[in-house]
Amino acid sequence: MNNDFSNLINAYKETLKDEKLYSDTRSTYWKKKYKQNDKFFDLKNLENFRNNQILSVGCDDSINLQNKLNLLECLEHFDDSYLKQNLPEQNIGNCNYSENFLGYYLDYSLVHHLKWYEKIEKYIKDNSNILEIGGGFGSLARIIIKNKNIKYFLIDLPEANLLSNYYLQNHFPNKKIFNYSDFKKYKIEEEIKNFDIFILPPNVLDKKNIFFDFIINTRSFMEMEKKTISGYFNLIQTKINDNGYFLNINRYLKSVVDDDIYFHEYPYDDLWDTIISEKSFLQDRVHFLLTIRKKNIGNIHNEIKKIKENKNIYIKYYVNRHIKRGIYLILAKLFLFTFGKYKLKKISKVLYNLSLK
């Protein structure tokens, strides 16, 4: 392995030291995922970060998003030339759930990123500033950077930033990446012209004189605490340019933090118009909402109201949730009677996590 990647480990360690930057945005969900963060110090693990999700657990859906279609059938949803342009020719991170098709790599997670980009491609203009909040290891970012001449900013927790640093540097060896080590040395506003990709922790761009033409969050607001979501919406709505776009792809309802996170409760202000609003590709529980920033009051709250009043999107979730919780309560009582309190604690963790999925 190229030892030059040790600088990424150093940038990761520097970010960890400045805990105040990210501690309030690390939800209970992510505290559990990143409880053992010392494994991120190992270069061998970094090289294989997608192998059995050794480092990418929580931000790598290559196995989690399997559906009724197999990967070959998924390919039928795309034009051949589109696939040749956008499928990676390297399996960076050595994902063992990725299939090689004629020299190109594909997994279930990437299928969704390909479809999302297909829908937003015409709205992303060259020479734009793009901000992605919670972009994981950079899969969607890779597609956009490959196709557009833009400046790409990624904001995420330190562990995800390490992975996206490694992933994108391998895919784009000629691109210059600005990470937290650079942020501590230089004024970022003066360095935008000198770098292509900016990978940073939360709470560093709020007071910087940088604005964006397209902002993205895909499937990570739903795993944040409400106060963190509110803070990010404040960032989005103060940093978006007029006629800039905001892509929000998240579940209608998810319960992995202290509160239930509903899509219709995201704190949009009045200055948005809806461009695309629909169920996400092959994901009935996820909504795809693309909006544009306006100077005057837009129609966003009418659209949010429609989503809230569409009871059908919640019925299946509630039925499954209550059935699973009912099973959990019955089994919990049974195990309490059989094993006692000590073993029940361990067993109940597994059962309770099942009930929340």
pLDDT tens-digit readout, 82-115: 999 999 999 999 999 999 988 999 998 999 999 9
Q: What is the overall mean pLDDT for the chain?
A: 87
The lowest-confidence range among 190-194, 281-285, 333-337, 341-345 is 341-345
The lowest-confidence range among 62-71, 72-81, 166-175 is 62-71
Contacts for 310 with CB less than 8 Å, ≥ 6 apart: none
pLDDT tens-digit readout, 301-314: 999 999 999 867 76
Q: How confident is the model at residue 71, as a pLDDT? A: 79
Query: pLDDT at residue 226 above 80?
Result: yes
Q: How confident is the model at residue 229, as a pLDDT? A: 96
In percent, the amount of the chain with pLDDT more than 90 equals 65
Q: How confident is the model at residue 199, as a pLDDT? A: 97
Query: pLDDT at residue 155 above 50?
Result: yes
The lowest-confidence range among 62-76, 136-150, 224-238 is 62-76
